[in-house]
């Protein structure tokens, strides 16, 4: 595997893992809309863990969700997917560091190191997929409620936490794809060296066997 591709893929995966850690506690996953409101006295915003409100004076009040089982199913699923994304990203970082050519782990067995790096790429792909499903599912419910004219509750718009999650998923998928596609799983037979055989083009092959001279004890005059 190319060392530059390895370094680039690891950098993308690591940045994606950090962005998941930023998006998960971010409070602005959805923000109450001001569409159709002439005067807005307070703003409500929520994430996977709590609901907050701020008034025109800048005072913030937050409360955690009182019950896990009372939450909507998509919020519970998004929580699980985001936590799984962090776990997969952690495994991907460890595996990629172990499989990189510049690391001393694994010795000089580059075949094994390449396979370990490919496993790290699979973990990064799983991280990106979990993050993408979580934020997209959450955003789909926001847009569904926003465009539902008969929805009685507060309508929300997409917050910055979801955009961070989408960016993280994209980087993780790109980094994992680079590791998986660039890894060359060569077999030991491909590394066997063969002796050099010069080309026979331009030579005349004869069927006459090569004669070898036998040493004799007689001089040249004895054959006259």
- Would you put residue 58 in left (φ > 0), alpha (ψ -120 to 50) or beta? left
pLDDT of residue 221: 52
- CA-nearest of 92, 87, 167 to 122 is 92
Name, in order, each residue with C-beta under 8 angstroms of 143's C-beta and a sequence gap of 6 or more. 158
204 has a pLDDT exceeding 70: no
pLDDT tens by residue, 142-184: 999 888 888 887 888 899 999 999 999 999 999 999 888 876 5
Output the six-digit token pair for 67: 């019950």
Instruction: Give the chain's largest Cα–Cα span.
Output: 131
State pLDDT tens for residues 74-131: 999 999 999 999 999 999 999 888 887 776 665 666 677 778 888 999 999 999 999 9
Cα–Cα separations (whole angstroms), residue 42 to 28, 66, 132, 208: 15, 22, 31, 104
Q: How many residues does the chain have?
A: 224
Q: What are the structural domains, with CATH classification, of the chain? A: 7-27+68-183 (1.20.140.150)
What are φ and ψ of residue 105, in 5° steps?
Answer: -70, 130
pLDDT on residue 217: 53
- 1-47 pLDDT, tens digit per residue, is 577 888 888 899 999 999 999 999 998 999 888 765 545 567 888 88
Q: What is the model's pLDDT at position 44?
A: 86
Ramachandran class of 156: left when φ > 0, alpha when ψ lies in -120 to 50, beta otherwise: beta
Sign of the CA dihedral with 82 first, then 84, 86, and 92 last = negative
What distance in Å separates the CA atoms of residue 208 and residue 101, rounded to the nearest whole number?
A: 55
**Does the pTM of the predicted model rise above 0.85?**
no
Q: Which ranges constitute the DSSP H helices of 100-159?
A: 110-146
């Amino acid at each position: 595997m190319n060392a530059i591709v390895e370094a680039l893929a690891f950098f993308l995966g690591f940045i994606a893992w950090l962005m998941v850690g930023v998006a998960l506690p971010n409070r602005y996953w959805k923000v109450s809309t001001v569409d159709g409101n002439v005067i807005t006295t307070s703003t409500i915003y929520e994430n996977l863990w709590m609901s907050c409100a701020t008034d025109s004076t800048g005072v913030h009040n937050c409360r955690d969700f009182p019950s896990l089982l009372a939450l909507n199913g998509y919020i519970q699923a998004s929580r699980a997917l985001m936590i799984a994304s962090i776990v997969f990203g952690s495994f991907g970082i460890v595996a990629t560091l172990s499989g990189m050519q510049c690391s001393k782990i694994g010795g000089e067995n580059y075949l094994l190191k390449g396979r370990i790096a490919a496993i790290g790429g699979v973990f990064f792909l799983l991280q990106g997929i979990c993050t993408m499903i979580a934020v997209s599912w959450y955003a789909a419910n926001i847009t569904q409620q926003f465009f539902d004219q008969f929805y009685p509750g507060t309508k929300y718009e997409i917050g910055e936490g979801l955009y961070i999650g989408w960016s993280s998923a994209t980087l993780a998928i790109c980094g994992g794809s680079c590791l998986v596609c660039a890894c060359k799983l060569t077999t030991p037979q491909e590394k066997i060296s063969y002796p050099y055989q010069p080309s026979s083009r331009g030579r005349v092959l004869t069927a006459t066997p090569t004669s070898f001279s036998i040493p004799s004890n007689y001089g040249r005059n004895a054959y006259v």
